[in-house]
Amino acid sequence: MHKKIFITGTGTDVGKTYVTGLILKKLKESGIRAAYYKAAMSGNVRRTDGSLIPGDAVWVKNISGIEQPIEEMCPYVYETAVSPHLAARIEGEQVSLSKVLEGFHDVMENYDYVTMEGSGGILCPIRMEGEEFWLEDIIRACGMGCLLVADAGLGVINGVGLTAAYLREQGIPLKGIIFNHYRPADVMQEDNIKICERITGVKVVACVKDGDTDLDISIEALCSLYDEEENE
C-alpha cells in the first residue's frame, strides 16, 4: 500500500515545513514507513565545501525522526531565496518535470506514505523558460490531493477562500485545512475556523499552536486524508 498527499499553503512562511514535520512525526511514531519530497527548494545555505544544505528537508527529518536519506528528498536545491523559476534562472539549473516525477515515483516505490511539500503558495511558477510549468502541474502529474496550511490569524478567510477556489478551478481535491499559529479560545480564530469551513466545504482537520511538538489529530484521521497510488 502506497499513499500520498501534497502540502500547500496560503502563501510563503505560513508554516508548511513545520506542519509537514509534525505530520511525518506522527506517521513515523505509528510505525508507518513515511517519506518526504519537495520538487524545488530555494533559500538554502552552503556547507564549507560549497554544497547546498536542503534546509526544509533537514528540518523535517530532524523533527520527524524519519530514516529516509536527505538525498532522496529534493532533486533541485537553490541558494537564492526567490521563486524556483527565478532561482533556477539565476543559478543556471532549470527544473525538469521528468526528473521531479522520476524522483517522486522512486520514493513512492520505497515508502508507504509520501508527503510532498510545495514551494510558497499554490500559485507558484516552477519553470518559465522552455518547458514551462507551475506547481499545480506537478500536483496533477503526481495524482495528489492537497492539505492546506494557513495562518490562523487575521486574513486567513481571504487566503483560504482564494486558494480553495483556485484548487477547484485546477481540478485538484482539497482534503483538509490545518491552522498554524493557533491560539485556543481566541474568538476571532474560532470564528475563522467556522467561516473557512463554510466557504470551502472542507474541514479544519487540525490546529497547531506555536511550539507544538505533536499534531493534534488521530492517526486514523490523518491517514484517511492520503490518496492511494493508482495501478497498485
Task: Locate 230 and state its grid cell.
Answer: 493508482
Taking each continuous run of H as one helix and of E as one strand, the counts in the chain are 8, 11
Q: Over the stretch 207-223, which tens digit does the pLDDT of each residue have?
A: 999 999 999 999 999 99
Q: How far apart are CA 207 and CA 121, in angstroms?
A: 19
State pLDDT tens for residues 92-114: 999 999 999 999 999 999 999 99
Query: What's the alpha-carbon Rg for the chain, to the nearest Å?
Result: 17
> What average pLDDT does the structure give for the chain?
95
Domains and CATH numbers, the chain: 3-228 (3.40.50.300)
What's the whole-model pTM score? 0.95
The catalytic residue positions are: 38
